[in-house]
Each structure stands twice: as structure tokens, then as C-alpha cells.
Amino acid sequence: MPGLELSSGSLGQGLGVAVGCALNARLEKKDYKTYCILGDGELNEGSIWESLMSAANYKLDNLVAIVDRNKLQIDGPTEEIMKLEKLVEKWQSFGWHVLEVDGHNMQEILDTLEKASKIKGQPVVIIAHTTKGKDVSFAENVVGYHGICPKDGLTGAESLEKALADINAPGFDEKRVNALYQKACDYQQEVNRKVAQVMPKFSRDYWWNANEIMKVKMVPTRNGFGDAIAALGESKDTIAFGADITGSIRMDKFYQNHPERKERFFQMGIAEQNMTLAAAGFAKEGKTPFIGSYGVFITGRNWEQIRTTVCYNNYNVKIANAHGGLSVGPDGATHQALEEISNMYYLPNMHIVVPADSIETEKATKAVAGIQGPAVIRYAREATPVISNENTPYQFGKANIIRFREEKENFTDAFETKVSTEYQSENEDLAIIACGPMVAEAMRAAYILKKEYDLETRVVNIHTVKPIDKEATIKATQDTGIVLTAEEHQKGGFGNIVAGVIAEGKMFKTPFLLDMIGVNDEFGLSGAPWELLKVFGLTAEHIAKRAKELYGKK
């Protein structure tokens, strides 16, 4: 949109870009100034302090940083999470000219910006003291309000009615809010029409819980990690770290009902690189540390630390790669992890589990806690279909083979699951090899293929991506001649791993067909998680359509 020149999403990157802009102005002898707004919690990131040093080193008096100092971040007050004070003295010690301002006084802000423009010989930072949610009674200075506002903006404890009754909220106007709400509803209807157009059609609707049979429960996959870390916390050798979304990724379950464990929980703030290295230090001393955050951050920003310190030394660091795939929905492309399977797979000593549902996530987390060496647990944020139960077999490193049997009232009961080593070929027509939330879609695709075309499908659940079950992968190819991989990830991240296993282990003369379902070399979008699965062609309907096309070619 006009005026928005850069979107990074990831905290700690904007100021570095601003330094580049200011240096460019000097290089080209232009008189523009660069302004960068920072959250105070963002100052947890080490890259901010690298930018501070470089800006002062080059005496960038054409650069103005503005810190929104509301003293709150997601996990709590900044001074409890990762102490920032004395903030003025810190910026000054890095060579910046510091100005302070009441961030709610517009005239004072304008006067201070004018003053900043006249400072010569050093960059300027304006520390704007603010109150989060100011003048909105139910949100003012309440850290917990983050992310829990009413979905429609009108109802619930934080309601428009309550806001309108607040004498400190004169800006609320019921007619205007209702008009905006109607625009949002109209827009959503248009989105619904567009999304419906991209969905393959069959003789009936097979969507989740659309019918009275084949019902499935939806549970956030991250809950399984929470259950596992709560149990693993019983061991005094287990250590946990927080990275400002502790509750969101369910890491807080480590200590929630066990306050005595607080001494083994370390809040690092938004500092993935430092957290990784601190965890490596614990691992060197014989502990089993768990670190975690959004997948894009916990395996991206600190990739070098994971590679060189954790993996090279084969340290026992466990990584909660939370909110993987498109499941973060409205958070958009910057927060949707679609590359980490590839990023982690080719690191020596690394182990990777990509569980399908909350139950399998709990089993997988406990499994990697029991093996020596670094490991990644990639799990989704939002509610996903529960396609297993406590009795479903799970063996680390061995795939599960899933077969559709007959329609049942409960979706999971319609399938039979066996560990790959105990499965005998049933001469299926094709195989779908999947990981993570795509296993549920693969199962539903197998259901569609049977009911629509009388095709038998072998679903191979690769819950352990590294070490991958090579035997089950090769056997599925040999037995069926058609393999379709499915991943909620950049296409080929998982698919090319499977293709490599098949190519390397090819022991037969019969040709086979292979294709991949995944995100097609593009970034994600902001939207509801299920909308995004449809838009990016990752649903069972898309899998079934492509599988039928492959079968036709065979």
C-alpha cells in the first residue's frame, strides 16, 4: 500500500535496512532522512545491537529510530522477560543521541522530531513512552490482551458495547464500526466464492465433518507438544526455554502445574540465536534442553548456530519447530514456515519428526527426547484432524501404513494403521506418501478415491522424516508404480527427499510415476488456515484429483 516501503515481519530486521537506506543517502549525496519504528520487545534481538553499532560507527545523522516503549511484550513485562533498562544509557553507550517523549502527545512528538532533524554527527533515537491499548478500558496496559480479542470485533467480554460505555473511548462510533464490519463480511463472501472455485468437485461433498458419517475431532496439534513437555519435565535433566510466545507454542506446560520447575525454565525473550547457544551449553553439561518458537524463526534466524554449534558437536538440543506450514493463517507469509524441512534435513546429526496430529505429536516429542543428538519437532498451531489414538502404533524411524477400509461414524475408525515392518502388500493402485497435517488429507483422499473411482490407496505416514523409512518408501513404489507425495511445505522439500530415496533404491525394471503436492515456489498469504490449504491446492480434493490423473496415465 502507499507509504509502506518494506515488510519484514521478523523482528530485528528493520533497523538494519534503515542503516542501508541512510548509507545510500550519503553515498548519493541526497538529503532524505530514514525513520525506523521499533517495538521495545524487539530490542531482545541481537541484530538490533549490531545495527546500533554500525549506525554510530558511520555517524548516520540522517537516521532516526523511534522506540515504542510500552514495557510489554507477549510473554509479559519487558523487565521480567529480558531486562532492557537502563535503556537511555545503553543507546548512549552505543553512540546515539537519545531523546525521550510522551508517545501520546502529538505536539510533543512533532517538536521532538523537529529537534531530531537538527542533530549532527550521530544517529538519533526517540524513546516514546506509551501505554499499550491506551484509552480502551479492557485492553489498556493488559499484556494478555494480545491475540484474544473477539473474532468479530463486536461480541464477548471485550465488546463494542463496553467500549462505547467507556468515557475514555470517545472515538468509538457504533454506526461506523457496524459499517466497517459489513464491509468485512462482504469481502469475506467474495473470498469464499473465489476459494470455492479452486476446489475440485466430486459426486458429493467430502469436506471435514460435512456429513453425518466420517466425523473427526479437531484438536490443536501444539497441544500434543504441551502434554509431552509437561511429562518430560519430571526429569531434572530436562530444561526449557521461552522465546516470547511461550504459551502459544505450549512450552508453558513445562511449568504451568509445577512451579518448582521454574528454576529449570529460562526466558530468553526474542533472541533465537542466543537461546540456541545457551541450550548448547546446557547440553554440553549433560542436560536435555528444549527451545522453541515459530518455525521460521527457530530454524531460520539461528540456522548457523544450529549447524555449527549444535549439530557439529552433536549436542542433545531439541527444537520445537512450532506453527509449521500455513497453520498460522492470518499472521501471513513472514510467519508461515514452508522451508524448514529442507533447511534441517541436510544438517548432519539432525533428527526430524513431523507428526500428523496432537496425539502423534506427544508420542514424537517423547521419542526424540529419548534419542541422543539434536532433533526438530515440526508441528502446526491450529486445530487439525485427530486421525490416531493412544493405541495407534508409533515407532521412531518407521513409517505407518494406513488403509481405508469402510465408512464409519468416526473417521479414524474407517482406517487401519500398521507399522511398515508389519504390513503386507494388498496390491494397491497407488501410494500417497505424506507427513504432518497432510497425512489426514491423504487419508481423506484415499477415501474419495475409493468411493468415486474404486481405487485402493496405500497412505504412507512418514512421521519421522530423518531418519526416513527407506524400506517403506521403496516398497510403496515397487508395489504400486504410482507415488504422490504431499507436504504442507515448499514442494520438493519433503517430496525430493522421497524421490531421492526411491531413485537411490530403485531395484526394478517396471517404470513408475511420481508427482508432488505442495506449495509451488511462492510465499504464503494471510487468511484462515483452511482457506489457505484450499487456495494452495493442499486439500484431499486436490490430492485425489492429481492421483486419478496419474492413474489414468499409468
Pairing of strands 513-519, 482-490: parallel
Closest by Cα among 515, 514, 517 to 539: 517
Contact, 63 vs 95, CB < 8 A?
no
> Is residue 482 predicted with pLDDT exceeding 70?
yes
For residues 138, 143, 149, 155, the Cα torsion angle rounded to the nearest 10 degrees is -20
Q: 467: cis peptide before it, omega within 30°? A: yes
Please report which residue ranges of 31-84 form alpha helices under DSSP H.
Answer: 46-57, 78-81
Kind plus residue range of the DSSP H or E element containing 474: helix 470-480
Please give the grid coordinates belonging to residue 74.
507477549
> Is residue 173 predicted with pLDDT exceeding 80?
no
CA distance 45 to 179: 40
* pLDDT given for residue 141 in this prediction: 85
Q: Assign 445 a pLDDT band (cuts: 50, 70, 90).
A: very high
198 by DSSP, 3-state: which?
Answer: coil
CB-CB neighbours of 161 under 10 Å: 10
Q: What is the mean pLDDT of residues 145-161?
A: 53
Closest by Cα among 148, 146, 154, 149 to 177: 154
Residues 6 or more apart whose CB falls under 8 angstroms from that of 491 comprise 516, 517, 518, 519, 520, 521
Q: Please, how many CA atoms are within 13 Å of residue 229, restricted to the half-sphere of its CB?
A: 33
* pLDDT given for residue 142 in this prediction: 79
Contact, 360 vs 302, CB < 8 A?
no
Closest by Cα among 100, 94, 123, 157 to 35: 123
Could you tell me which residues are beta bridge partners of residue 409? none
Contact, 543 vs 516, CB < 8 A?
no
> Is residue 375 predicted with pLDDT exceeding 80?
yes
CA distance 547 to 25: 55
**End-to-end Cα distance, the chain:** 48
| pTM for the structure as a whole | 0.92
CA distance 157 to 149: 9
Domains defined for the chain, CATH in brackets: 14-129 (3.40.50.970), 145-197 (no CATH), 219-385 (3.40.50.970), 396-553 (3.40.50.920)
- Strands (E) in 440-520, as ranges, are 457-461, 464-466, 482-490, 513-519
49-58 exposure pattern, b = at least 16 Cβ within 10 A, e = fewer? eebbebbbee
Question: CB-based burial of residue 372 (10 Å sphere; 0-12 exposed, 13-18 middle, 19+ buried)?
Answer: exposed
Q: Regarding predicted confidence, which is higher, 140 or 101?
A: 101
Please give the grid coordinates belonging to residue 413.
475408525
Q: Assign 165 a pLDDT band (cuts: 50, 70, 90).
A: low
Please give the grid coordinates belonging to residue 195.
476459494
> Is residue 161 predicted with pLDDT exceeding 80?
no
Pairing of strands 265-267, 415-419: unpaired
Q: What is the pLDDT of residues 44-71, one digit of tens each?
A: 999 999 999 999 999 999 999 999 999 9
Q: Greatest CA span in the chain, whole angstroms?
A: 79
What's the one-letter identity of residue 381?
Answer: R
* pLDDT given for residue 162 in this prediction: 60
Q: Assign 158 a pLDDT band (cuts: 50, 70, 90).
A: low
* pLDDT given for residue 135 in this prediction: 82
Angle between helices 14-27 and 46-57 (to 10 degrees): 20
Percent of the chain with pLDDT over 90: 86
What DSSP letter does each residue of 347-378 carry, written as one string? STT-EEE--SSHHHHHHHHHHHHTSSS-EEEE
461 by DSSP, 3-state: which?
Answer: strand
Pairing of strands 351-353, 318-322: unpaired
CA distance 268 to 46: 12
Q: What is the mean pLDDT of residues 245-258?
A: 95
Contact, 531 vs 435, CB < 8 A?
no
Mean per-residue pLDDT over the chain, rounded: 93
DSSP 399: P
Q: What is the pLDDT of residues 494-540, one digit of tens each?
A: 999 999 999 998 776 778 899 999 999 999 999 999 999 999 999 99
Question: CB-based burial of residue 269 (10 Å sphere; 0-12 exposed, 13-18 middle, 19+ buried)?
Answer: buried
> Is residue 168 predicted with pLDDT exceeding 80?
no
Please give the grid coordinates belonging to residue 518.
505442495
Residues 6 or more apart whose CB falls under 8 angstroms from that of 235 comprise 288
Please give the grid coordinates belonging to residue 171.
472515538
Angle between helices 358-369 and 222-232 (to 10 degrees): 40
Please give the grid coordinates belonging to residue 158.
471485550
Could you tell me which residues are beta bridge partners of residue 466? 352
* pLDDT given for residue 136 in this prediction: 76
Distances from the Cα of 480 to the Cα of 428, 449, 542, angstroms? 6, 15, 20
Contact, 72 vs 130, CB < 8 A?
no
Q: Assign 163 a pLDDT band (cuts: 50, 70, 90).
A: low
Please give the grid coordinates belonging to residue 407.
465408512
179-202 exposure pattern, b = at least 16 Cβ within 10 A, e = fewer? eeeeeeeeeeeeeeeebeeebeee
